[in-house]
Amino acid sequence: MGLSAPPLPPAVPMPHATAPIPDRPAPGPSNVALKLTMALTGTVFALFVLVHMIGNLKVYTGAEHFDAYAHWLRTLAEPLLPYEGALWIFRIVLLICLLLHVGASAILVVRARRAKGPHRRRAMGWRRIPATLMPWTGVVLLVFIVVHILDLTTGTKPVAPQSFTTTTPATSYAFDNLVASFERWPMALFYMLVMLMLGLHLVHGLWMLATDYGATGAHLRQVWAVVAAVFAAVVAIGNISIPLAVLAGWIQ
């Protein structure tokens, strides 16, 4: 008889390879929508602080002109709008932008920290300082907004100076209130430090606008980086000059 080949062992069933489960998108708005929201609201804030700084510099023209400017803001668009009507529209728009900006920022920070896990970037260069400090400078600016309103808008003691005089529909005392506030060196120093924080916040926030608005050209981004730095420096220095002038006795 011929030799027969040994029977083959039974086939072992191979486990089925499971397809990778795609990552589920984070609940809520997408990162693109959040960054665009921050870009749009950030643009509004950048324009506001520039115009506000220009208005503040009118303090160098004397009490009469500065008070007239403050009074004009409250009577803008009368009689179409009531007294302070335009001012309240600006305030409401800024408040909505603030809520959207802070909310979008908080969500993006939380998502970024979750994505990084326990690993953190180390030994970052000095150019990354504004970006690293963005959440903290943002918190400082939020505190400053509250203090600034209590000091020069509502005149709430003890934040406001004891000599604060409330504006009336006929007269503004913005010049005297500003000078009285900055004659207190702690408030003047606080204001100047916050303006430095504002400059850091602006220089990175404005530079990020190029990315958020889709500008990808290397040359355009370099030019915009210079524009952001100059813009931030002008706003910070212009505002810092006012308490310095008051403390030096140039404005009184």
3-class SS of residue 154: coil
CA distance 225 to 208: 9
* Top-level class of domain 31-116+133-247: mainly alpha
Of the candidate ranges 95-99, 110-114, 122-126, the one whose mean pLDDT is the lowest: 122-126
For residue 199, how many other CB atoms are within 10 A of its CB? 21
CA distance 202 to 49: 10
Confidence category of residue 1, pLDDT binned at 50, 70, 90 = very low
For residue 233, how many other CB atoms are within 10 A of its CB? 13
Both structure tokens of 244: 């310095």
Its pTM stands at 0.83
Both structure tokens of 130: 């504004």
More confident residue, 160 or 116: 160
Q: Are 235 and 194 in contact (CB under 8 A)?
A: no
Q: What is the DSSP string of 5-37?
A: PPPPPPPPPPPPPPPPPPPPPPSSS-HHHHHHH
Taking only the tens place, the pLDDT of each residue in 52-70 is: 999 999 999 999 999 999 9
For residue 99, how many other CB atoms are within 10 A of its CB? 11
**pLDDT for 7:** 60
Amino acid at 245: A
Domain spans in the chain, listed from the N-terminal domain onward:
31-116+133-247
